[in-house]
Amino acid sequence: MRSQPRFRHGGIQIDASKDWQPARPARNAFLPNGAVVPLKQHAGPAARCLVRKGEYVREGMLIGKAEAPSSANVHAPVPGVVRDIRRISLPEGGDSEAVVIALEGSFDRLGRREERYLWKSMTRRDMLNTLRDRGVVDTEAPGRPLYDLLGDKEGPGLLVLNAVESEPYLRAESSILLDKAQEILDGFDILRKILSPERSVIALDDSAAAESFSKANAAGSRETALAEVSVLEPRYPLDMERQLLESLRFDRGRGGKKALIVRPSAAFAVYEAIVLAKPMLERYVTVAGGAVKHPAVYKARIGTPIGDLIEECGGFLGPPARLILGGPIRGHAVHDLDAPVTKTSSAVLALTDEEVSSSRRSPCIRCGRCAEACPERLIPELLYRLVSNRRQAEAVELGLDCCTLCGACGYICPSRVPLVASFAAYRRPLPATGEALR
């Protein structure tokens, strides 16, 4: 194993030991009495609903059919009766039809011995079709179907298993490394077989979970042991594509070589779909923040209300100042404890007023820390002044449209100037995030 330098400019050092304990194996969340399953948990249009109110559904049954590009199949995470089909708001914006399943009847998978399929004899096309049928999507928002990401005939120059969690509080990917090392490595091998990349890298940080995963990899006789292992400094925003590829010194070259970046949770979903013939029914979710009594990582069924997960953590210590789905820097505020876990949910955070710090907002003191932190070499303080004075054209000239909304400047700002919200309001729309294969 050899160390690699970090990305070249900016970023912020996150001291993970400050927010809560190191990653531990995940706990199994209680099964939800009522699973709320959105038919849009992916980048494209919602899947078409295949069930009716009052109908009994089995665990893993197809309940939503993908009928458009970037859409994905949706399966029943629990057995039960369809109590309702209604529209719900999605935390990341927009709304979706959702199937509400009241838990009832027996499980087809849970608690039963799982049959394993020999993936090495499968063809690339068979594996791709299986991933499509099982509704496997990239576990990072916006949840692009892996069938679309992998279906590109031309193999990428680089395939990365990115296990570095660079936002504070997040531990789900580390927990899955501890719980499912062999399965993740098999999933990564499957991806390597589908894609035949020129170079494969396992990107880790220096955490105990990463170390144990690295040992599991080195001890195995599988092909993944041949992949390069890079230990990277967990400096935010290392999980953004440009910063990660720069850290790995990946050069697209003149031909514009492509790179595919997947999370351990996505590699695990690939393993489950191909080896166990299992659709995406569960997610590893971090439940943390200063307002949560006992933070933990849970393996939860899709459709589990986030309020149920917080209850499992012992509830709130006090009223949270903000509830966030995802990381504290790039996550989405959520106002409803009934909001469900989806295929792309990585975390539920209940933050205290002190953690949010909105009450300490004060004028800019020109300290320059935002510029030091900006990985795109922008001067956020200056951009903010320009957009606040409606001088957007000048801000664009100074690089406003290059802002990736990574949030590093806002996180580091001692005055809590609302930098990122202003940039989000004034910059041109970003290209779709999660389009890793480009």
- Residues forming the site for ligand SF4 (CB under 6 A): 364-370, 373-374, 376, 378, 380-381, 403-409, 413-415, 417, 419-420, 423
Both tokens assigned to 62: 């197809």
Identify which of residues 175 and 422 has a Cβ nearer to ligand SF4 in the complex.
Answer: 422
3-state secondary structure of 147: helix
Identify which of residues 7 and 119 has a Cβ nearer to ligand SF4 in the complex.
Answer: 7
Give the nearest distance from C-beta 364 to ligand SF4 in angstroms. Answer: 3
- Contacting residues for 334 by C-beta, under 8 A, at least 6 apart: 91, 306, 323, 324, 325, 348
3-state secondary structure of 213: helix
Give the nearest distance from C-beta 274 to ligand SF4 in angstroms. Answer: 37
Identify which of residues 367 and 432 has a Cβ nearer to ligand SF4 in the complex.
Answer: 367
Q: Name the residue among 81, 111, 145, 88 with its Cα closest to residue 279.
A: 145
Give the nearest distance from C-beta 9 to ligand SF4 in angstroms. Answer: 10
Give the nearest distance from C-beta 252 to ligand SF4 in angstroms. Answer: 20
Identify which of residues 203 and 387 has a Cβ nearer to ligand SF4 in the complex.
Answer: 387
Q: Which residues pair with 19 in a beta bridge?
A: none
Q: Measure the CA–CA gap between 357 and 275, rounded to whole angstroms.
A: 46
**Tokens 């939800």 label which residue?**
32
Both tokens assigned to 189: 């091998």
Give the nearest distance from C-beta 387 to ligand SF4 in angstroms. Answer: 11
Q: Are strands 74-75 and 347-351 parallel, antiparallel or unpaired?
A: unpaired
Give the nearest distance from C-beta 91 to ligand SF4 in angstroms. Answer: 20
Identify which of residues 10 and 44 has a Cβ nearer to ligand SF4 in the complex.
Answer: 10
Exposure class string for 273-286: b at 16+ Cβ within 10 A, else e: bbbebbbbbbbbbb
- Contacting residues for 164 by C-beta, under 8 A, at least 6 apart: 203, 204, 205, 210, 232, 234, 238, 239, 244
Give the nearest distance from C-beta 171 to ligand SF4 in angstroms. Answer: 23
Do residues 188 and 227 touch, judged by C-beta distance below 8 A? yes
Identify which of residues 38 and 407 has a Cβ nearer to ligand SF4 in the complex.
Answer: 407
Give the nearest distance from C-beta 162 to ligand SF4 in angstroms. Answer: 19
Exposure class string for 64-93: b at 16+ Cβ within 10 A, else e: bebeeebbbbbbbbbbbebbebeebebbee
Identify which of residues 225 and 364 has a Cβ nearer to ligand SF4 in the complex.
Answer: 364
Identify which of residues 51 and 408 has a Cβ nearer to ligand SF4 in the complex.
Answer: 408
Identify which of residues 310 and 408 has a Cβ nearer to ligand SF4 in the complex.
Answer: 408
Q: Name the residue among 82, 199, 60, 203 with its Cα closest to residue 135.
A: 60
Give the nearest distance from C-beta 403 to ligand SF4 in angstroms. Answer: 3
Q: Measure the CA–CA gap between 229 and 2, rounded to whole angstroms.
A: 7
3-state secondary structure of 104: coil
Amino acid at site 231: V
